[in-house]
Amino acid sequence: MKKAFTLAEIMIVLTVIGVITAILLPVAINSSPDENVMKFKKGNNTLGTVIRELVNSDKYYANGSLSRMPNGDFVSSPTYFCETFADISNTKKINCTDEDEGIDYAHLHLTLVNGVDNTNDMKKYADSYCKNYQKEEITLSDGIIYYEVSPYHHFGSEYKDSGARLFDNPGVWNDSMEIDENGNVINASVSSSFDLIYKVFCMDVDGINKGEDPFGYGIRADGKIFTGARADEWMNKSMQKGD
């Protein structure tokens, strides 16, 4: 005669299985790769690689500056940076626009404003700019999207913080000036310091206006990339998960 399990024994086995599942399930979930984190890491690396290639290429830019064309002229086309970025990346779709959102960039324009580094301001505001002005300009084959917030703000364009004025001599900062009644600059003294503009560039890993907010970056005329606050946070997340 075969001896069957009693109801009590079956319940004990099920309880043990339940306890083991409760312990192992969170571990399994946390150890599984997060697709958006993986795409962020890939997109972040792609951004750095493309910018390095652009700033060091004599095909697209000259003199190691994203503000100058190969012939030495300053870049004047609002879509040029987007187009050159797309040209050397694995782009599936490109829709570079010259749309100007009319944003006040006073706190993002200079590496040094009156001797004070404003990188922290860039980190603070870049993400919010990217979130408020979402658009699809460059789409990679894996769905990662890049776009500019305001293409009309060229690399190297001179910017006077106190008067919020753009001037005609990119790369040179006017320490002091007088403005006549017609708005013309008179008696401007020029220093030897250079205006290194941040271009606010954005990355979206899961599609425009979907679950994850975009990530903001500040890209400087010399190719230096500054990550926004969310990108810093996700880089830490990526390292913690070991992706």
**Residue 95 scores a pLDDT above 70:** yes
Give residue-wise pLDDT tens across range 81-92.
999 999 999 899
Give residue-wise pLDDT tens across range 201-224.
999 999 898 889 999 998 888 888
- The residue extents of the domains of the chain are 33-241
Q: Is 126 helix (H, G, I), strand (E, B) or coil?
A: helix
Q: Which residues contact 149 (CB under 8 A, 6 or more apart)?
A: 101, 103, 129, 130, 133, 200, 201, 202
- Spatial separation of the C-alpha atoms in residues 133 and 111, rounded to whole Å: 23
| pLDDT at 173 (0 to 100) | 41
Residue 170's closest CA among 134, 130, 197, 145? 197
| pLDDT at 174 (0 to 100) | 44
Give residue-wise pLDDT tens across range 152-206.
777 764 433 333 333 334 344 444 445 555 555 455 444 433 445 678 899 999 9
What b-and-e string marks burial along 162-171, b requiring 16 or more CB atoms within 10 Å of the CB? eeeeebeebb
**Residue 32 scores a pLDDT above 70:** no
State the pTM of this model. Answer: 0.70
Q: Is 195 helix (H, G, I), strand (E, B) or coil?
A: coil
Burial class (CB in 10 A: 0-12, 13-18, 19+), 26: exposed
